[in-house]
Structure 1
Amino acid sequence: MPKISAAGLEALDKLIAETLSAGKLPGFALAVSNLDEQLYAKGAGNKTYGDPTSAQVTDESVFWICSMTKLLAAIAALQLIERGELTFDTPVSKIFPEFATPIIVKEDKTYEPAKETITILHLLTHTSGINYGFGVGALHILPEAYRHVYDAVNPHEQFFALLKGEYPEIPLVFEPGASFAYGFSSDVLGFVVEKVTGQTLEAYSRKNIFDPLGVKATYHLTAELKEKLVDLTFRNADGSIANWENRAAVIQRHPDPVYANFGGIGSYSTLPDYVTILRHLMQIEAGRDVSTPILKKETVKSLFEPKLNDAGSQAINFMAFFLVQNSAHYRNLNWSTGLAVSTNDWEGRRKTGSAFWSGWAGSWYFMDPKTGISLAFASQIVPTIDQVTFEIADKAEEIIYANLE
């Protein structure tokens, strides 16, 4: 099993030190693993940007991992499919009647009834037609359904009402299964898990994913974890960094009560804990005899298999080109039952069949089953797809693959 050479570890240390000294990022961290063990984990900077008296960011610091949550929600739903409590073909309307009569909204805002039924597979693959809303605003402002202050009285119903917005039914951008649209599918999937199990997504995930793997990932911050949470920051148009200063609402979190557990954006984790989950999945995929496997081998393999049709593939690649224009690697992408997959080798980096995604507030991860390497990198900075976080994560990957032995 490959490890990072001494020269590679030194190069990673240098990258982190140079990034910190240049002031390119607020507090950040990196964690790397092979199939056997964690190979590297280090943080840098301060919990609060510009405050040298605040806690140092370490490998034990907590990050809001945002859309890296989508993999966790997919794992929960895939477990229910393995147990026979759901199937890929289960209509979402069977669990939530609000999805019985969705509508297809056209560019002129007219609409017509959808002909196809939204299924669990559509939610897993983001082919449901549910996007992040019509006319989404600035990249540092979350959609209203995330910013809303939920109460304890049926948060699912409140969420679906926000999805409807000005329309009489749940609006879709295409017929279910016709293409790919990145959006609230994972959140709906998480609510399905809650409805089917009678538990919150936090309680279910704690019992069936987090505790069996010995990780402290969570949808609910505690006072202790909040103390370790790296503060959110903002990158100005000139590239400078500023403190967040509540410039826009985020999801509900401690000390406020959390009534809506978002499977698309709602979890928090240290990077070593998240990489522990990735390593566990890759051990299962590799046929390792692991204790307390959270999924079966054939299910894990589906996380690395493209599921989109041609239209869906074109859609995800268009989105990737728009968001990461300065990289030749984020091309020829597809989506599996939980995350994006690469359909070709990236020269000097991850191999065909690697799976990956990122998070709204500056986090990135990937799993490469051919080499056994997994990586997670995070800061806490928006607008989303911050190019500096992307460049540092990309450079770290380049160093790792150049120094495997």
Structure 2
Amino acid sequence: MAYRNFANPELSRRSLFRGGAYAAAGATLATLPFGRELLAHSVDESWPNVAALAKKYIDERKVAQMYLTFGWGQEDHAHHVGGGTLALNSDVEVDENSLYRIYSMTKPVTGMAAMILIDEGVMGLDQPIHEFLPAYKDMMVQVEYDGAITEDNLEPAKSHITVRHLLTHTAGIGYGIIQQGPIVQAYNEAGIIAGRVSRLPIPGIFQGAPVGSLEAFADGLAQFPLVLQPGTKFSYSMSLDLLGRVIEVAAGQPFDQFLKERIFDPCGMDSTYFQVPSADVGRLTDNYGILNGNAFPIDPAATSIYLDEAPFPTGGAGLVSSPKDYDRFLRMLLGYGKLGETRVMSDAAVRKGVSNLFPEGTDLAGTWMEGQGHGAGGRSVNGTFGWGGAAGTLAAVDYNLGLRACLFTQYMPTDAYPIRDEYLAALEADTAAMRAKKAA
């Protein structure tokens, strides 16, 4: 399709934490002879190259805003670099309470929700999901990857899908934004659509009307073949969306309610939603499409599709959140389940969730995760855990440094600009300057 690359660059993760570069930047920071005081005053002064990068993109009107946060350990508020406005035609400045479509940064939240239930013995990491969703007991699998979905190209699954498979994208489930074969149109026609972008029809992205409940999504997805045998290979997928249904069946309550009661409320995340309340539209950013270097609004805040009730809560890409809220989620992870005096998850559940959970023997050759690890919904490598979103957002915790960091902006596709690579370069330049200053 003519616009298919509009969706693929970010959502394929090729531009996310490329080659473990973010972890490498963390290792660079770890060599610096400085303490936490650097983030206790003007952060723009401490990170001049990062600040200049944000200023350049904002001044050139390539993005409306670039808002970055850095926080150490359990300090109450992360400090910020950059700024901008809610929209290119707005004079309202963004801050820690502005609202962003975080898309796949939803996945680590869903992953940690699953780890809570695993820790409590409600479900097992290697438990077959058909014990919660019987329709997944006898799955069929494509013989030719992304080939026909007819009987002559199908064979029985050689093993059952487990919770671990869903957490690590090794279940063999497809994704409408990744697959290239006839299964994409079949998903769309059946409403197996796990995400929202715009009220505008954008060819190649989420074509069709999604089903109206998470139960209907899970039941519908079970009618389609897997694209790979379970447990054999990493393939970015709708597995975290399906995991939302497993969680609600296991927990005995709606998935979105479980997230609110077990993660959002105890973390003090009062601005994280599947549907933005009308009273909060004044905090919502515009989302932009980039075409030939020009930004045009594809989801203006005033008429955003996120003001509508979500067809169902998508655990892979459905949330809108604020820099303050997501920093609190990261702070909880950095505290191994504890945020201040509040225990949200057990120490063991977080440690397991941020570790490499790939099934033994998983083939990563030629995939986006080659040489990397994957935890509960996010990348796990060299003491860091995190993931990014389709509209340019990025978040990670670095356990080696005790650092939590986020990048917030709103444009698609993320490969339209080399922001993430430039961010890493700016970060490295600033750390080099810090080392030189300390050595002088």
Query: Is residue 2:355 matched to residue 1:305?
Result: yes
Distance 1:386 1:354, change over 3 A: farther
Q: CA shift at 1:273, angstroms?
A: 1.5
Equivalent residue, structure 1, for 2:118: 81
Which consecutive unaligned segments of at least 5 residues does structure 2 have?
1-34, 196-205
Distance 1:272 1:393, change over 3 A: farther
Q: Is the 8 A contact 2:65 2:94 kept in 1?
A: yes
Distance of 1:269 and 1:245 partners within structure 2? 16
Equivalent residue, structure 1, for 2:71: 33
Query: TM-score when scaled to structure 2?
Result: 0.75
Query: Is residue 2:147 matched to residue 1:94?
Result: no
Q: Is the 8 A contact 1:180 1:312 kept in 2?
A: yes
Equivalent residue, structure 1, for 2:6: none
Which consecutive unaligned segments of at least 5 residues does structure 1 have?
321-330, 343-351
Distance 1:275 1:307, change over 3 A: same
Q: CA shift at 1:289, angstroms?
A: 8.7
Query: Is residue 2:428 matched to residue 1:398?
Result: yes
Distance of 2:269 and 2:332 partners within structure 1? 11
Distance 1:211 1:101, change over 3 A: same
Equivalent residue, structure 2, for 1:19: 57
Query: Is residue 2:283 matched to residue 1:253?
Result: no
Distance 1:400 1:203, change over 3 A: farther
Equivalent residue, structure 2, for 1:318: 367
Aligned 1:201-216 pairs, distance under 5 A:
201-216=255-270
1:284 is aligned, of 328, 336, 349, to 336
1:44 is aligned, of 76, 83, 97, to 83
Q: Which SS does the other structure have where 2:397 is aligned?
A: strand
- The C-alpha deviation readout for 1:329-388, integer Å capped at 9, x for no partner, is xx732212331122xxxxxxxxx2212211111111111100111111021111244443
Q: CA shift at 1:60, angstroms?
A: 1.6
2:227 is aligned, of 147, 163, 173, to 173
2:283 is aligned, of 203, 207, 228, to 228
Distance 1:333 1:3, change over 3 A: farther
Q: CA shift at 1:30, angstroms?
A: 1.1
Aligned 1:138-157 pairs, distance under 5 A:
144-146=193-195, 147=206, 149-150=209-210, 154-157=213-216
Equivalent residue, structure 1, for 2:24: none
Equivalent residue, structure 2, for 1:264: 316
Distance 1:36 1:265, change over 3 A: same
Equivalent residue, structure 2, for 1:135: 180
Equivalent residue, structure 2, for 1:355: 385
Letter in 2 for 1:22: E
Letter in 1 for 2:367: F
Distance of 2:50 and 2:339 partners within structure 1? 31
Distance of 1:81 and 1:158 partners within structure 2? 23
Letter in 2 for 1:203: Q
Distance of 1:116 and 1:88 partners within structure 2? 15
Q: Is the 8 A contact 1:30 1:59 kept in 2?
A: no
- The C-alpha deviation readout for 1:252-284, integer Å capped at 9, x for no partner, is 632x22241000001111112111111221122
Aligned 1:56-135 pairs, distance under 5 A:
56-107=93-144, 108-109=147-148, 110-133=153-176, 134-135=179-180
Letter in 1 for 2:344: I
Equivalent residue, structure 2, for 1:347: none
Letter in 2 for 1:114: A
Distance 1:310 1:207, change over 3 A: closer
Letter in 1 for 2:85: N
Letter in 2 for 1:204: F
Q: CA shift at 1:314, angstroms?
A: 2.4
Q: CA shift at 1:9, angstroms?
A: 4.4
Letter in 2 for 1:77: A
Distance of 2:416 and 2:98 partners within structure 1? 20
Distance of 1:387 and 1:311 partners within structure 2? 36
Q: CA shift at 1:40, angstroms?
A: 1.5
Equivalent residue, structure 2, for 1:327: none
- The C-alpha deviation readout for 1:128-172, integer Å capped at 9, x for no partner, is 1113143178xxx998443454565x44224542x36xxxx3322
Equivalent residue, structure 1, for 2:11: none
| Count of residues in Structure 1 that have an aligned counterpart in Structure 2 | 368
Q: Is the 8 A contact 1:41 1:272 kept in 2?
A: no
Letter in 2 for 1:292: T
1:191 is aligned, of 245, 250, 259, to 245
Letter in 2 for 1:31: T
Distance of 1:52 and 1:289 partners within structure 2? 35
Q: CA shift at 1:3, angstroms?
A: 4.1
Q: Which SS does the other structure have where 1:319 is aligned?
A: coil
Q: Which SS does the other structure have where 1:253 is aligned?
A: helix
Distance 1:120 1:339, change over 3 A: same
Distance 1:245 1:78, change over 3 A: closer
Distance of 1:245 and 1:123 partners within structure 2? 30
Q: Which SS does the other structure have where 2:240 is aligned?
A: helix
Q: CA shift at 1:396, angstroms?
A: 5.3
Distance 1:175 1:276, change over 3 A: same
Distance 1:268 1:3, change over 3 A: farther
Q: Is the 8 A contact 2:385 2:396 kept in 1?
A: yes
Distance 1:20 1:338, change over 3 A: same
Q: Which SS does the other structure have where 1:121 is aligned?
A: helix
Letter in 1 for 2:154: Y
Distance of 2:362 and 2:95 partners within structure 1? 39
Equivalent residue, structure 2, for 1:372: 402
Distance 1:105 1:336, change over 3 A: same
